[in-house]
Amino acid sequence: MTGQRLAWVMAAAVLVAGCGDKPQQNGDSQVVLIGQASPLTGPQAHLGKDNENGARMALDEINAAGLTLGGKKVVLEMRSEDDAADPKTATTVAQKLVDEGVVGVIGHLNSGATIPASKIYFDNGIPQISPSATAVAYTASGFKTAFRVMTNDAQQGTVLGDYAVTKLGAKRIAIIDDRTAYGQGLADEVEKAAKAAGGDVVAREYTSDRSTDFMAILTSIKGKSPDLVFFGGMDPQAAPMIKQMKQLGMKAKFLGGDGAQTPNFIDLAGAAAEGAMASNPGLPLDAMPGGSAFKAKFEAKYGQIQNYSPYAYDAMHVLVAAMKRADSSDPAKYLAELPKTDYQGVTGHIRFDAKGDLAGGAVTLYQVKNGKWQTLETVQSGK
């Protein structure tokens, strides 16, 4: 009896709550909702906020320039959700965005959150462009709603593993990952490429994306005297890790992926960061076609760029460009236009391959010199 009544009350509440958020249509301008999902709390909140700001800046520009679809004036509105970098939360917020009636999604930030969420967007026919998910699995599931404007792990890892052996001359390589879809995926590709280039992987160790203590695994690695330690993971782990390597008196070089190639890494690691190397997919900000203009605009509005905001910015533009070509914000109509994308963005020339991956993405290697990331070189991920 009470259970039944409660169910009715809840159903009514859902109805009432649902009505308020539907896109309204008043007179001649129509509000179209676009979703954004990234971790806005937790250890990676600084990166998540950066993505949100990048997407918001593009959205504000499009609105300011005015957008007309199907003869109607359209005002874009962003719904930003916090997925806490957590796969379970990601599916919840993905469902929430779908229920709110978004026509497309920019996100998520982490591969671990992007992959489970992509199924929900696919089931509801909502196109999704991730600015930063790099795990191969994201586009491997065959969902035709899934796209990314970022070089993927296979491309990046292959470049990194090859670079470690051929350019840095490392014969003995130790690999650590943080057991996330991102960290593990990248580390696996590095391992494959390093072995293919003739390197010897002497240790494969694991940690988590919440750890700060790596003394035990580093001690074990030190016993195997590697020339280079590769870490697949984010800056909150990479920074204490390189500090602890110095504490243990390890001489091995440190190489990381894009999760470690952040200003935050240098702030956190301090003097220990000196000499560390890490890659970032794409071109360095100042070598991007629209990099310096983007930097000036972004920093005037939101402060320092953390990492992926130019990609979130481009992703939003790519999404809306497809709507313009289809002359509709209806996901069923403009989805067909997305694979035909040929867009000159801030981050470079954006085209998608058959899977929705960025075609021919570049990978740039950086090294910390005098407390700053300096560009070493850009390597084209090739066939």
Partner 1 sequence: MDIFLQQLINGLVLGSVYALVALGYTMVYGILELINFAHGEITMMGAMVALSVIGALALAAPGLPGVLVLGAGLVVAIPVCVALGLLIERVAYRPLRHAPRLAPLITAIGVSIILQNVAMLIWGKQYIPFPAILPQGRHTLYGASITDVQIAILLLATAIMLLLILMVQKTRLGRAMRATAQSRQVASLMGVDVNRVIAATFAIGSALAAVAGVMVSAYYGLAHYYMGFLLGLKAFSAAVLGGIGNLGGAMLGGLLLGLIESFGAGYIGDLTGGFLGSNYQDVFAFFVLIAVLVFRPSGLLGARVVERA
Q: Which residues bind partner 1 (CB under 8 A)?
A: 40-43, 45-46, 49, 179, 203-208, 210, 212-213, 215-217, 219-220, 222-223, 235-236, 239-240, 243, 247-249, 264, 267-271
At a CB cut-off of 8 Å and minimum separation 6, what does 372 contact? 266
The pairing of beta strand 348-351 with beta strand 342-345: antiparallel
Give Cα 238 to chain centroid, integer Å: 17
Closest to partner 1 by CB, 298 vs 334, is 298
The pairing of beta strand 72-82 with beta strand 348-351: unpaired
State the minimum distance, in angstroms, from the CB of residue 113 to partner 1: 16
State the minimum distance, in angstroms, from the CB of residue 240 to partner 1: 5
The SS3 call for residue 228 is strand
State the minimum distance, in angstroms, from the CB of residue 34 to partner 1: 24
Q: Which of 321, 344, 337 is nearest to 67 (CA)?
A: 321
Closest to partner 1 by CB, 199 vs 240, is 240
Closest to partner 1 by CB, 74 vs 217, is 217
Tokens, residue 335: 């989805």
Closest to partner 1 by CB, 81 vs 314, is 81
Which regions of 119-227 does DSSP assign to beta strands (E)?
A: 128-130, 146-148, 172-177, 200-206
Closest to partner 1 by CB, 247 vs 292, is 247
Closest to partner 1 by CB, 248 vs 359, is 248
The pairing of beta strand 25-26 with beta strand 29-38: antiparallel
Residues in the chain: 383
CB distance 280 to 262 below 8 Å: no
State the minimum distance, in angstroms, from the CB of residue 309 to partner 1: 16
- Give the number of other Cβ atoms within 10 Å of residue 52's Cβ: 25
Cα–Cα dist 159/53, whole Å: 30
Closest to partner 1 by CB, 47 vs 76, is 47
Q: Which of 84, 135, 116 is nearest to 259 (CA)?
A: 135
Cα–Cα dist 128/112, whole Å: 15
State the minimum distance, in angstroms, from the CB of residue 77 to partner 1: 25
Closest to partner 1 by CB, 55 vs 176, is 176
Closest to partner 1 by CB, 204 vs 325, is 204
State the minimum distance, in angstroms, from the CB of residue 53 to partner 1: 14
At a CB cut-off of 8 Å and minimum separation 6, what does 307 contact? 47, 50, 132, 258, 261, 262, 280
- In which residue are the tokens 């310096």 written? 292
CB distance 362 to 379 below 8 Å: yes
